[in-house]
């Protein structure tokens, strides 16, 4: 049986040194714009901020999928490292900006960067990582050639463009306190922010490196969409029922933020009477106004009205569909052990605890 956590650790050990090397290179300015000695301490502070989230090291799901998909198509893993590193760097600047937008408390077991240094400095650190991502992708030309490097950059553009669209819509619906959303609406957000960015995009990047055709890339997108549903529903269920193995400070963080999840949308549809009136009153409050008791009550209502059960049912449905789709449509991923490791990723998503 494949331990996908071990696969993640193995790939992280390959990709992190590349990221660390680029973080170090950021501190080296050319002669014409070198930082004068009297300002070196300020520059050091800046680069420490930029490196903060990468140094916390997440699970490395996205770069792992880049490497596994490339390997499953017979592409040399060492030539995919830069693409995988750029994918991981992108996650760190996106998480940085996302934490500011959501006013999150924690990230990877520590206070979110803006909680430590303020929004302005945290935002600027995210900008630093954003430009570093494009530098890595530009340097990819020396590894994979001009045509393929440009195709990879185009895919990054499309993937990130759809991701920020999803973020805009999610924030808009949260601000509007929408109570009329459907499961279809929520799945649209999942496709934008998770299906493409977390699963389909990384796999397509690995496949592009290996020379996959458009039909194969389209199939990977469809698989990513299904797995994105699974990944995000699992994530949202864990937010309501787990402390992410001690890495998260608040249970029900999505409720504090007012985030529209499949479980909350289900609750809006099914809650009745005085329970509904209380729920609507709580969800009109800002994050700071909501109390822990109110959030716990909302979770209890999700149990009472079957919203948690609905989420688990939908998760099981999409896990089944993802397995069937993988077996029936991704037969071009032939090289082992990479193919088997990608297949094991499906169960990892369903069973993960953080």
What Rg, from alpha-carbon coordinates, does the chain have? 21
Structural domain boundaries of the chain? Answer: 13-351
Q: What is the pLDDT of residue 311?
A: 97
Q: Rounded CA gap, 77 and 67, in Å?
A: 6
Q: Rounded CA gap, 239 and 105, in Å?
A: 13
Q: Which residues face 107 on adjacent strands?
A: 110
Angle of CA points 217, 220, 226, to nearest 5°: 150
| Phi, psi of 331, deg, nearest 5 | -70, -15
Of 264, 254, 227, 249, residue with least CA distance to 343 = 227
Q: Could you tell me if 137 and 89 are in contact, meaning their C-beta atoms sit under 8 angstroms apart? A: no
Q: Rounded CA gap, 345 and 151, in Å?
A: 26
- CATH fold, domain 13-351, is Farnesyl Diphosphate Synthase (1.10.600)
Residue 277: exposure state from Cβ atoms within 10 A (0-12, 13-18, ≥19): exposed
Q: What is the pLDDT of residue 241?
A: 86
Task: Using alpha carbons, list the distances in angstroms from residue 335 to 157, 255, 307.
Answer: 28, 43, 40
Low-confidence ranges of the chain (pLDDT < 50): 244-245
Q: Rounded CA gap, 144 and 16, in Å?
A: 20
Q: What is the pLDDT of residue 121?
A: 97
pTM for the full predicted model: 0.94
Q: Rounded CA gap, 247 and 244, in Å?
A: 5
| DSSP state letters, 274-329 | HHHHHHHHHHTS-TTT--HHHHHHHHHHHHHTTHHHHHHHHHHHHHHHHHHHHHHH
Q: What is the pLDDT of residue 354?
A: 75
Structure confidence by residue, pLDDT tens digits, 211-230: 999 999 999 999 999 999 99
Q: Could you tell me if 336 and 218 are in contact, meaning their C-beta atoms sit under 8 angstroms apart? A: no
Structure confidence by residue, pLDDT tens digits, 238-290: 999 875 445 555 688 899 989 999 999 999 999 999 999 999 999 999 988 99
In 10 A of CB 25, how many CB atoms? 12
Whether residue 75 is preceded by a cis peptide bond, meaning omega within 30 degrees of 0, is no
Residues in the chain: 354
Tokens 């609905």 — which residue? 310
Q: What is the pLDDT of residue 243?
A: 58
Q: Rounded CA gap, 105 and 125, in Å?
A: 17
């Amino acid at each position: 049986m494949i331990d996908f956590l071990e696969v993640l650790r193995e790939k992280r050990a390959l990709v992190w040194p590349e990221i660390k090397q680029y973080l170090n290179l950021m501190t080296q300015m050319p002669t014409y714009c070198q930082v004068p000695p009297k300002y070196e301490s300020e520059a050091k502070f800046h680069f420490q901020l930029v490196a903060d989230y990468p140094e916390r090291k997440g699970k490395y799901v996205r770069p792992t999928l880049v490497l596994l998909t490339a390997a499953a198509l017979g592409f040399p893993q060492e030539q995919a490292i830069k693409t995988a590193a750029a994918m991981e760097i992108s996650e760190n600047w996106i998480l940085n900006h996302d934490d500011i937008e959501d006013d999150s408390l924690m990230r990877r077991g520590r206070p979110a960067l803006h909680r430590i240094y303020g929004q302005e400095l945290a935002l600027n650190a995210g900008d630093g990582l954003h430009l570093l991502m494009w530098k890595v992708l530009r340097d990819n030309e020396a590894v994979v050639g001009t045509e393929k490097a440009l195709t990879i950059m185009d895919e990054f553009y499309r993937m990130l463009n759809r991701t920020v669209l999803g973020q805009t819509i999610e924030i808009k619906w949260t601000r509007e306190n929408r109570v009329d959303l459907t499961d279809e609406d929520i799945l649209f957000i999942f496709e934008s922010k998770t299906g493409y960015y977390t699963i389909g995009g990384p796999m397509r990047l690995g496949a592009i490196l290996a020379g996959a055709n458009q039909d194969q890339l389209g199939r990977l997108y469809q698989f990513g969409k299904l797995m994105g549903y699974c990944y995000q529903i699992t994530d949202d269920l864990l937010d309501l029922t787990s402390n992410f193995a001690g890495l998260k400070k608040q249970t029900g963080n999505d409720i504090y933020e007012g985030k529209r999840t499949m479980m909350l949308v289900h609750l809006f549809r099914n809650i009745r009477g005085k329970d509904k009136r209380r729920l609507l009153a709580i969800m009109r409050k800002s994050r700071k106004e909501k109390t822990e008791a109110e959030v716990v009550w909302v979770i209890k209502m999700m149990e009472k009205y079957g919203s948690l059960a609905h989420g688990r049912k939908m998760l099981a449905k999409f896990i089944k569909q993802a397995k069937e789709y993988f077996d029936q449509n991704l037969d071009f991923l032939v090289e082992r052990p990479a193919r088997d490791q990608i297949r094991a990723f499906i169960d990892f998503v369903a069973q993960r605890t953080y």
